[in-house]
Structure 1
Amino acid sequence: MAIKGVLFDFSGTLFRIESTESWLRAVLAEADVTLPEGELLRLAGQLEAAGALAGGASPTGPLPDDLGALWAVRDRSAEAHRAAFTGLSRRVELPDARLHDALYDRHMTPAAWRPYPDTVEVLAALRERGVAVAVVSNIGWDLRPVFREHGVDGYVDAYVLSYEHGIQKPDTRLFGLACDALGVAPQDTLMVGDDRRADGGAADLGCAVHFVDHRTVVERPEGLRPVLDLID
């Protein structure tokens, strides 16, 4: 099989969100709120356990029924995404209630994200080989500014975002839309992602699938390079 198109997941695959501690520090600084170091670290730990940072850790423990139902469909609309993650955040008592929305807004900024060390290298190599690239993401906001700010947008031919279609992975329709956008048959397409359930749905459409580890940028300097071996 000759691979003519590659679909990439966003979070945990091409980019990684900042740590929960960095996220909270940035928002507190912007709001001019000062906390004792121990209190800041305690709150960061609680927010991480709550799963309040999109792209970070999932919630630990059971969720209330209403929040659990919202969590299951969080990537189908911008409204559901914001409501789910601010709902998780509000399970943690912060010094100012306005900080919950500020935290959500922060995670959508390019400054909150870093590309993996080999992201540009691999995308540039695919472009040189004439392989079409799409980003297929379960997400509730427009990630295109993140790619533009980090100089990666020029390597992406199409973006297929769940909230723009009301469909979330592993639904094969989302992968089908991406293949159609690239003009490539699923059988000639490789899906690269970090979530075996969500990204693995591409296999049901006939795509090849390759998984990477959802690790920090420092811990995963070369996780994407095997993609080039699969292409070659």
Structure 2
Amino acid sequence: MTAVLFDFSGTLFHIESAESWLRGALAEAGVDLPEAGVTAVAEALTRAGALPGGAQPVQLPGDLAELWLVRDRSAELHRAAYTGAARRVPLPDPALYDALYDRHMTPAAWAPYPDAAEVLRTLRERGVRVGVVSNIGWDLRPVFREHGLDPYVDTYVLSYEHGVQKPDPRLFATACAALDADPRGTLMVGDDRRADGGAAALGCAVHFVDHLPVAHRPDGLRPVLDLVG
């Protein structure tokens, strides 16, 4: 393998808990909510699928169904989908819906998996080129910079910047071209068998990791080093 492509959420990084996300937005907006209310609202937002990078909606309302399928094709669609999901949950201040969305785009809302830095650094030392290919509606580069992982990434291919989302092979082809890498010598690492598995149509090898909280997956990326050789 001469190149490795990584997914972002659930692969290299994990979003904070729904409670932490809600508390951060409440603090930023200067809104108070009783402790019992924080827990209940966080659980309702989780069921609604309102936290990007978090759980999928338990039940997607009909008026959001079509939007949800294409939410990663632009920044506008992404915000509309997730704030639309959040608005299914009553909040004490209407400004909180946008505050919640804005909070999830901050570096503080994300934590790298414990072995992410080691794996990326080792790939760099071996001369293996690295790309990040993500279905997303915002610029995740500041997250990588803040957590010290940006020096190990050669290219970022983000769905909203290209109007194409995984599993469309064109997104993986764009990444391979940016890395000057033959797809047949490229490994795609991700947590979504449908979305990330789309790289196989291009000829890439594919390796899946479990989408788990950071504390529950300390070394899930290390097998990548053996696969690359």
TM over 0.5: yes
2:83 is the alignment partner of 1:73: no
2:178 is the alignment partner of 1:151: no
Alignment equivalent of 1:21, drawn from 19, 22, 25: 19
% identity of equivalent residues = 72
Alignment equivalent of 2:87, drawn from 85, 90, 107: 90
* Matched residue, 1:185: 182
* Matched residue, 1:44: 42
Task: Please list every run of 5 or more consecutive structure 2 residues that lacks an aligned counterpart in the other structure.
Answer: none
Which deviates more from structure 2 when the two are superposed, residues 28-37 or residues 5-14?
28-37
* Matched residue, 1:4: 2
Distance across 1 between alignment mates of 2:95 and 2:17: 21
With structure 1 as the length reference, what TM-score do the two structures score? 0.98
* Matched residue, 1:61: 59
- One-letter code aligned to 1:116: Y
Distance across 2 between alignment mates of 1:113 and 1:218: 13
- One-letter code aligned to 1:165: H
Distance across 1 between alignment mates of 2:3 and 2:228: 9
CA RMSD, aligned part only?
Answer: 0.6
Q: State how many pairs are aligned.
A: 229
Distance across 2 between alignment mates of 1:4 and 1:221: 25
Secondary structure, counterpart of 1:26 in structure 2 = helix
Is 2:131–2:175's contact at 8 Å kept on the other side of the alignment? yes
Alignment equivalent of 1:220, drawn from 181, 194, 217: 217
Q: Deviations over 1:82-126 (max 9, x none)?
A: 000000000000000000000000000000000000000000000
Aligned-pair CA distance for 1:29: 1.4
Secondary structure, counterpart of 2:11 in structure 1 = coil
Distance across 2 between alignment mates of 1:80 and 1:30: 24
With structure 2 as the length reference, what TM-score do the two structures score? 0.99
* Matched residue, 1:133: 130
Aligned-pair CA distance for 1:62: 3.4
Distance across 2 between alignment mates of 1:223 and 1:104: 28
Distance across 1 between alignment mates of 2:123 and 2:5: 11
Alignment equivalent of 2:115, drawn from 114, 118, 126: 118
Question: Any runs of at least 4 consecutive aligned residues in structure 1 with deviations exceeding 2 A, and if so which?
Answer: none
2:160 is the alignment partner of 1:163: yes
Distance across 2 between alignment mates of 1:36 and 1:118: 37
Aligned-pair CA distance for 1:231: 1.0
- One-letter code aligned to 1:69: E
Distance across 1 between alignment mates of 2:41 and 2:126: 47
Is 2:154–2:179's contact at 8 Å kept on the other side of the alignment? yes
